[in-house]
Structure 1
Amino acid sequence: MSEQHLAPVGPVPVPAHEPPYYVVVFTSTRTGHDPDGYTDTARRLSALVRQIPGFLGEDFAHTPGGLAVSVAYFRDLAGIEEWRRHPEHADAKRRGHERWYERYVIHIARVEHSHGFTRT
């Protein structure tokens, strides 16, 4: 769902939205090699998720040691469910289990408060 392979940190944080909304936090460590198709698949999924109704944006970061965190923001649970069941996303999850990830954890939470700051 993210372009975490392209840069250590996403370019601009997703702005605060009017609550309530939902976040999907995907924390992962990859296998030790760079398997076929990961980069192209990540780019494709990042483009596809933007078409899901209620998708608000995504943030991502990763460490040189291999920990990656992707946070996707959705207006409602219906959008998360639509994304979960998307055929290309489901296929990518299968390939992730088979070769791309050592482990991952997904957390889904409802955001009750949100605010931000930007230096002018």
Structure 2
Amino acid sequence: MSNHSEAPVTPVDAYEPPYYVAVFSAVRTQDQSGFSETNARMEDLVKDIPGFLGMDHAQTPGGLGITVGYFRDADALTEWRTNAEHRAAQKRGRVEWYESYTLHVAKVERSHGFVREQSTTAR
């Protein structure tokens, strides 16, 4: 995962359904040589897919990593799934970087969000 320490931490916005999510959960191997560079390239590449809405990442202290990609429609998700550079990275991931992973794809039927209003006075 890339370092996003400069950007504020916020989840991807709630979009008007329907749209699609791809939930990738993984446990990585000890040797992560080349992972960071490839991951950064994949994050840049997916942003060029028409219909890509955003991505959330989370990492547990125990080593489970979760990435959720949001896509406007099935065509956008298919374009990402079949991208040649992404396919090559997937293959390398199975050989080198992942002990195990699961991928769940779902159509979102309901979505909403919340943002706390910032107070202008100190309490």
2:40 is equivalent to residue 43 of structure 1:
yes
SS of structure 2 residue aligned to 1:58:
strand
Letter of the structure 2 residue corresponding to residue 38 of structure 1: F
1:21 match? 19
Determine the C-alpha separation between the residues in 2 that align with 1:90 and 1:116: 33
Unaligned stretches of 5+ residues in structure 1: none
SS of structure 1 residue aligned to 2:85:
helix
SS of structure 2 residue aligned to 1:52:
coil
SS of structure 1 residue aligned to 2:106:
strand
The aligned runs of 1:74-93 (5 Å cut-off) are 74-93=71-90
Determine the C-alpha separation between the residues in 1 that align with 2:20 and 2:99: 26
2:59 is equivalent to residue 62 of structure 1:
yes
2:82 is equivalent to residue 113 of structure 1:
no
Structure-2-length-normalised TM-score:
0.88
Question: How far does residue 63 in structure 1 lie from its aligned partner after superposition?
Answer: 1.3
**Percentage identity across aligned positions?**
50
Question: How far does residue 87 in structure 1 lie from its aligned partner after superposition?
Answer: 1.1
SS of structure 2 residue aligned to 1:43:
helix
1:99 match? 96
Question: How far does residue 65 in structure 1 lie from its aligned partner after superposition?
Answer: 1.5
SS of structure 1 residue aligned to 2:40:
helix
- Count of residues in Structure 1 that have an aligned counterpart in Structure 2: 115
SS of structure 2 residue aligned to 1:109:
strand
Give CA deviations for 1:85-115 in whole Å, capped at 9, x if unaligned.
1111011001001010000000000000100
Determine the C-alpha separation between the residues in 1 that align with 2:58 and 2:30: 18
Structure-1-length-normalised TM-score:
0.90
Greater Rg, structure 1 or structure 2?
A: 2
Determine the C-alpha separation between the residues in 2 that align with 1:79 and 1:25: 15
**Stretches (4+) displaced over 3 A:** none
Letter of the structure 1 residue corresponding to residue 27 of structure 2: T
Determine the C-alpha separation between the residues in 1 that align with 2:24 and 2:9: 18
User: Structure 1 65/6 Cα, relative in aligned 2: closer, same or farther at 3 Å?
Assistant: farther
Letter of the structure 1 residue corresponding to residue 109 of structure 2: E
